[in-house]
Structure 1
């Protein structure tokens, strides 16, 4: 007659295996690897975030604040500092990348409302810019 605990090692091995398998499903996505992107330049159109995005969570996990000098870029690592220069008036602002976008053809960067206001009239909506990674 077999007892309930006749195969404790087999049960333990199976339990550990299931636990390890469950853990692999709980791993997080690794942080973006830092790249040497300083000096990278790009030109195109810039826009700014609509007011409805105030206090929403960005792709980096930070909360969007339209008073901060932040921006969205499709590929630059989060935390990258970028100088954005308005081609029409040569005004510039340094922003920190903390979100992904813009997802409209021709646009290279989406600026926070405050950052856009430092280099152009908000009524402009979309402007031609040159960008350069500074840090």
Structure 2
């Protein structure tokens, strides 16, 4: 599966811990991340992660484009709902695209753990993914 990993600044430590906990699951899949999140995951886990731009510099839009083009199967976006984000329209667009294309989306640690546990137990497949031409 192709998985995107994104975390707002105040959630990056949680993303690192999540990646460490599920490193054996994540290493079996293609990983993509926004800039700083990807760098931190690589540094702390050694996972192979293709990095996009930083979220505020277009990384969220790059991930959204991948969703729209059918290039992602699952998105984990640990959001900080209590801090204003300068790129909130990009965040909203990405979340909307996940809904439009039926891409499983976790926006907090609990839902991310459930998704990765299901992936670990092979209970989740890319059957949810709509093709671009559908």
**TM > 0.5:** no
Structure with higher helix content: 2
Q: TM (normalized to structure 2)?
A: 0.24
Structure with higher strand content: 1
Q: TM (normalized to structure 1)?
A: 0.23
